[in-house]
Amino acid sequence: MSRLDDLRDRIASREARIGVIGLGYVGLPLALEFARKGFHVTGIDVNDTKVETLRKGASYIEDVPSAAVKELRDRGVFEATSDFKALARCDVIHVCVPTPLTRAKDPDVSHMASAMEEIRKRLRAGQLIVLGSTTYPGTTHELFVPLLESTGLRVGVDFALAFAPERIDPANRKFSVHEVPKVVGGETPLCGELAALCYRAIFDRVVPVSSTQSAEMVKLLENTFRAINIGLVNEIALMCDRLHLDVWEVIEAAATKPYGFMKFLPGPGLGGHCIPVDPTYLSWKMKSLNFTARFIELATDINSHMPEHVALRVGDILNEDRLAVNGSRVLVLGAAYKANVSDVRESPALDVMRELTHKGAEVSYHDPHVPELDLDGRSLKSVDLTDEVLSGSDLVLIVTDHEAVDLERVVAKAARVFDTRNATKGVRQGREKIRLL
Question: Are 192 and 251 part of one and the same domain?
Answer: no
Q: What is the CATH number of the domain that holds 88?
A: 3.40.50.720
Residue 367: what residue type?
D
How close are the terminal C-alpha atoms of the chain, in Å? 64
Report if residue 217 sits inside a domain.
no
The pLDDT tens digits of the residues spanning 332-373 come to 999 999 999 999 989 999 999 999 999 999 999 999 999 999
Q: Measured on CA atoms in the order 225, 132, 174, 50, is the torsion positive or negative?
A: negative
Question: Are 142 and 243 part of one and the same domain?
Answer: no
Report if residue 220 sits inside a domain.
no
Q: What is the dihedral of CA 348, 354, 355, 358, to 10 degrees?
A: 180
* CA-based nearest residue to 437, from 429, 428, 425: 425
Residue 8 pLDDT: 95
The pLDDT tens digits of the residues spanning 254-313 come to 999 999 999 999 999 998 878 888 899 999 999 999 999 999 999 999 999 999 999 999
Question: Are 131 and 55 part of one and the same domain?
Answer: yes
Choose, from 90, 96, 198, 274, the residue flagged as catalytic. Answer: 274
What average pLDDT does the segment 402-429 reach?
96
Question: Are 143 and 255 part of one and the same domain?
Answer: no
Question: Are 52 and 181 part of one and the same domain?
Answer: yes
203 φ/ψ angles, rounded to the nearest 5 degrees: -105, 145
The pLDDT tens digits of the residues spanning 114-170 come to 999 999 999 999 999 999 999 999 999 999 999 999 999 999 999 999 999 999 887
Question: Are 254 and 191 part of one and the same domain?
Answer: no
The pLDDT > 90 percentage for the chain reads 89
Question: Are 419 and 301 part of one and the same domain?
Answer: yes
For residues 280 and 101, is the Cβ–Cβ distance under 8 A? Answer: yes
Q: If you write DSSP's letter for every residue of 60-92 in order, what string do you get? A: -STTS-HHHHHHHHHTTSEEEES-GGGGGG-SE
Report if residue 166 sits inside a domain.
yes
Question: Are 178 and 276 part of one and the same domain?
Answer: no
The pLDDT tens digits of the residues spanning 210-265 come to 999 999 999 999 999 999 999 999 999 999 999 999 999 999 999 999 999 999 99
Residue 254: what residue type?
A
Q: If you write DSSP's letter for every residue of 280-322 in order, what string do you get? A: HHHHHHHHTTT---HHHHHHHHHHHTHHHHHHHHHHHHHHTTT
Nearest-angstrom CA–CA distance, 125 and 238: 57
Nearest-angstrom CA–CA distance, 202 and 181: 10
Residue 322, phi-psi category: left (phi > 0), alpha (psi -120 to 50), beta (remainder): left
DSSP state of 382: P
Last-in-domain residue among 210, 235, 254: 210
Question: Are 235 and 180 part of one and the same domain?
Answer: no
Report if residue 21 sits inside a domain.
yes
The pLDDT tens digits of the residues spanning 175-208 come to 888 899 999 999 999 999 999 999 999 999 999 9
Instruction: Give me the chain's average pLDDT, please.
Output: 95
As for how many domains the chain has, the answer is: 2
Catalytic residue flag (residue 198): no
Report if residue 203 sits inside a domain.
yes
Question: Are 189 and 306 part of one and the same domain?
Answer: no
Greatest alpha-carbon pair distance for the chain in Å reads 81
Residue 173 pLDDT: 79
Indicate if the pLDDT at residue 3 is higher than 90: no
Question: Are 273 and 205 part of one and the same domain?
Answer: no
Question: Are 28 and 176 part of one and the same domain?
Answer: yes
Residue 1 pLDDT: 55
Domain that residue 242 falls in: 227-436
Predicted TM-score (pTM) of the model is 0.91
Indicate if the pLDDT at residue 64 is higher than 70: yes
Report if residue 49 sits inside a domain.
yes
Q: If you write DSSP's letter for every residue of 221-251 in order, what string do you get? A: HHHHHHHHHHHHHHHHHHHHHHHT--HHHHH
Report if residue 111 sits inside a domain.
yes
